[in-house]
Amino acid sequence: MAASTRLALFDLDNTLLSGDSDYEWGQYLIDRGVLERNEYEAQNNVFFEQYKAGTLDIHAYLQFALGALARHTPEELEQWLAEFMEKRIRPMIGARAVELVRKHLGAGDLCAVVTATNSFVTAPIASEFGIPHLIATEPERSGRAFTGRVSGTPCFREGKIVRVRFWLDSLGQPLESFAQSTFYSDSLNDLPLLCLVKNPVAVDPDDSLAAEAARRGWPVISLR
């Protein structure tokens, strides 16, 4: 099969999804009684506001979020993830997002989700969209169990560039080899990767990214 000449990268949270899967996973575990509401919810909200403000310390957040995975067995987590997909994620998948992904897949573009949210939570979401590649923050495992630590470079801000380049190099298709490269995102946190691709697209952007897109003349679309 000939290598694709077009690359389409999709942020996940508040881009393809009309919500944040990482935040909702924490809230789901709270509502299920797995996590203590007052303590975890308050800290989850603090980190979420820092993310939106562009001030998140990703390592501090991952220590918090991945620690929740480490406290439970893989069997428990898989059961909860299936219910989470059904109750929280599928309602956040809109027809326009599905149509956009299908357009790129149908054109033969090389497609990937590129997300800061960990791969345990996001792998079934990428599969739901039919996107064959996932570039996400990787939680460390010991056997099948999670350790609570991150493996490698977090897929966040400049880390997304590191992870995307590593993935493309593993395919023998460096970023510069694509005639067209597109990245869809809602967040100013993704400015490094948006500036790197040939076709940056702001999707239902936060106020900061909306202003940046207007300044740079980038297209702005809505999937809501």
- Active-site residue set: 11, 13
* Four-CA torsion 28, 33, 34, 39, nearest 10 degrees: 90
| Cα–Cα dist 128/91, whole Å | 12
| Cα–Cα dist 145/74, whole Å | 6
Contact 14, 186 (CB under 8 A): yes
Q: Considering only CA atoms, which of 4, 58, 3, 19 is closest in space to residue 186?
A: 19
Contact 135, 155 (CB under 8 A): yes
